[in-house]
Amino acid sequence: MGDTRADGYLAVFSGLRSRSAQLDDSVEHAWELKDRLSAVFAREGNPLGDDQYGAELEKNQWIIENGILVAFDEYIAELEDLRDGLRASATNYQAAEGYGDPGYDTGDGPAYPRGG
């Protein structure tokens, strides 16, 4: 009946794996940005000073900063889920095609290498 790929799908395992490797880089970069921002928050303290605006910010500053850092955590989790999904898809498609070698990018690293 011809090439089975013409009858269904064509999965490019190397493409799925290279995209997941790119996401590894994105995850690491996001962790670095979060760490740098957290350090800025700690270093700068209350940037508005001791006037009424500074006093108001001081009451809510930890809520604002925590919200931003939690948003980073959620973004990183989304990147990791996408990366892990691409890896799983590559492995599943490869197994369905009958290829035994899972390739170079099969790491099953922890979802949150530095805690979440």
Q: pLDDT tens across 27-45, in order? A: 999 999 999 999 999 998 8
Q: Is 87 exposed, middle or buried (0-12, 13-18, 19+ CB in 10 A)?
A: buried
* pLDDT value, residue 100: 52
- Whether this prediction's pTM lies above 0.75 is answered by no
* pLDDT value, residue 105: 44
Model confidence pLDDT, tens digit, residues 39-62: 999 998 888 888 888 888 888 999
